[in-house]
């Protein structure tokens, strides 16, 4: 029997980091940078106005206030994108748009609201400070600065910076393509008519959501029956688009559980009894030309717990994340229960509280019962160590935070 830590390392060992790929900015969103990005020029590239107004010399506006405005002649107008040099002469102003280059000789920009919006001349009702409303060349980014480092997740803010320094492409660890296979003769699609002997495929839909939330691209295959030929052909068909395959069901020791036999002909997959609850039988390995595959239990609660504990960290590793696991906090449970000896138990709980006063964990349902309703109501997994058998009300347990 393998420990939780050993099986966790097996999963990480199978799911290697995605090789770097040069992509367009739109395809980089949600990915992790695999390169160091340097600024090829100053940002801003010149002294520019921080808002609409008038470029002025502060010395010309000494004493200006609402009761005693100062009138200046407006000599010209500068717009964003203008490249022709403009010079400001004494006792004059230049109408300027936000982002436009500041004329030579100007040392401030007066915002429109402190003027009468004049065209030929302008009345200014304030004395600006030197540098007011000017964004100076290189104050944001200087040429040669490292603006983004490897390991940074690319989101809207990072895209703005990348585009701002002229990058249309960037090297990232691409989002892995994950194929989800639910296996079992009894499985039918939600929305079908319920009938004796059938079970709705909760795993396929739940894991698809969890994988997408973890940042990967996911493909859900309709439920596959317990037929060796169909299962083998389905897995082989999916290898062309899969960076990782996840199966649920078909891995226990019953005669209808076909996954072990089929995977034995497609690759090298190890099935273990793991010292954990739920999810004590699991498989990990590779198929085809080295595509990693994780085999999870068919029970939906077990599958979701195992995904959080083993698969999600592996997915984050494939994407280049430095931190693989979810955050955890210590919380006191609201009641006691018996925990299986020699197994690390993951109990569905709902956390309340705050960092200053501490957290409490309300156990959802019966710890030994795999209820979907309890899973849906929980926001964390309380972890009971292998050497603890009797959990008492008020005991402090480490909890893996899901929401």
pLDDT per residue over 366-396, tens digit each?
999 999 999 999 999 999 999 999 999 999 9
From the first residue on, what is the mean pLDDT of each consecutive set of 10 residues in the chain (403 residues)?
95 94 96 97 96 97 96 96 91 96 97 96 97 97 97 96 96 97 92 87 96 96 92 95 95 73 91 94 94 96 98 97 95 96 97 94 95 97 97 97 93
82 by Cβ neighbours in 10 Å (0-12 / 13-18 / 19+) ranks as middle
Structure tokens at 289: 């030309």
3-state secondary structure of 132: coil
Q: How many CA atoms lie within 13 A of 157 on its CB side?
A: 4
Q: How far is it, in rounded angstroms, from Cα 43 to Cα 106?
A: 20
**pTM confidence score:** 0.86
From 326, 294, 320, select the one nearest 308 (Cα to Cα). Answer: 326
Per-residue pLDDT at 378? 97
Per-residue pLDDT at 85? 86
Q: What's the sign of the alpha-carbon dihedral 213, 218, 223, 224?
A: negative
Strand partners, 171: 22
From residue 13, give the alpha-carbon distance in Å to each of 174, 189, 318: 19, 34, 10
**Angle, CA 320 vertex, CA 239 and CA 42 arms, to 5°:** 130
3-state secondary structure of 16: coil
**Angle, CA 63 vertex, CA 59 and CA 67 arms, to 5°:** 140
Per-residue pLDDT at 260? 87
From 344, 392, 340, select the one nearest 368 (Cα to Cα). Answer: 340
Per-residue pLDDT at 256? 58
- The residues near 5 (Cβ < 8 Å, ≥ 6 apart) are none
Per-residue pLDDT at 258? 83
Q: Helices marked H in 277-328 — which ranges?
A: 300-306, 312-318
Q: String of b and e for 209-244 (b: at least 16 CB within 10 Å)?
A: ebbeebbbebebbebbbbeeeebbebbeebbeebbb
pLDDT per residue over 281-297, tens digit each?
999 999 999 999 999 99
């Amino acid at each position: 029997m393998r420990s939780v830590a050993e099986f966790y390392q097996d999963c990480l060992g199978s799911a290697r980091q995605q090789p770097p790929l040069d992509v367009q900015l739109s395809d980089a969103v949600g990915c992790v940078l695999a390169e160091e990005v340097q600024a090829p020029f100053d940002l801003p590239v010149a002294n520019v106005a921080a808002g609409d107004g008038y470029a002025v010399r502060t010395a010309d506006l000494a004493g200006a206030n609402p009761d005693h405005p100062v009138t200046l002649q407006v000599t010209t107008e500068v717009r964003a994108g203008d490249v022709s040099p403009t010079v400001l002469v004494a006792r004059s102003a230049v109408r300027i748009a936000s982002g436009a280059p500041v004329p030579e000789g100007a040392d401030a920009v007066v915002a429109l609201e402190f003027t009468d919006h004049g065209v030929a001349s302008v009345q200014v009702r304030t004395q600006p400070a030197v540098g007011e409303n000017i964004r100076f060349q290189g104050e944001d980014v200087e040429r040669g600065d490292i603006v983004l480092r490897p390991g940074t997740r690319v989101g809207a803010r990072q895209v703005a910076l990348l585009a701002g320094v002229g990058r249309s492409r960037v090297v990232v660890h691409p989002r892995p393509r994950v194929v989800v296979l639910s296996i079992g003769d009894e499985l039918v699609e939600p929305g079908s008519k319920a009938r004796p002997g059938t079970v709705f495929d909760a795993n396929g839909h739940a894991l698809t959501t969890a994988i997408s939330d973890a940042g990967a691209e996911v493909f859900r295959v309709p439920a596959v029956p317990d037929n060796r030929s169909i299962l083998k052909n389905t897995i082989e068909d999916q290898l062309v688009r899969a960076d990782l395959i996840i199966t649920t069901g078909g891995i226990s020791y019953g005669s209808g559980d076909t996954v072990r036999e089929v995977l034995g002909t497609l690759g090298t997959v190890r099935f273990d009894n793991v010292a954990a609850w739920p999810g004590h039988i699991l498989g990990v390995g590779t198929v085809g030309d080295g595509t990693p595959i994780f085999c999870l239990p068919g029970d939906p609660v077990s599958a979701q717990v195992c995904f959080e504990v083993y698969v999600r960290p592996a997915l984050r590793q494939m994407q280049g994340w430095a931190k693989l696991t979810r955050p955890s906090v210590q919380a006191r449970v609201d009641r006691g229960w018996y925990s299986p000896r020699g197994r690390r138990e993951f109990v569905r709980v709902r956390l309340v509280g705050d960092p200053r006063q501490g957290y409490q964990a309300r156990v959802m349902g019966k710890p030994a019962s795999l209820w979907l309703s309890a899973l849906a109501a929980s926001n964390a997994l309380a972890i009971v160590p292998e050497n603890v058998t009797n959990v008492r009300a008020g005991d402090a347990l480490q909890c893996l935070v899901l929401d």
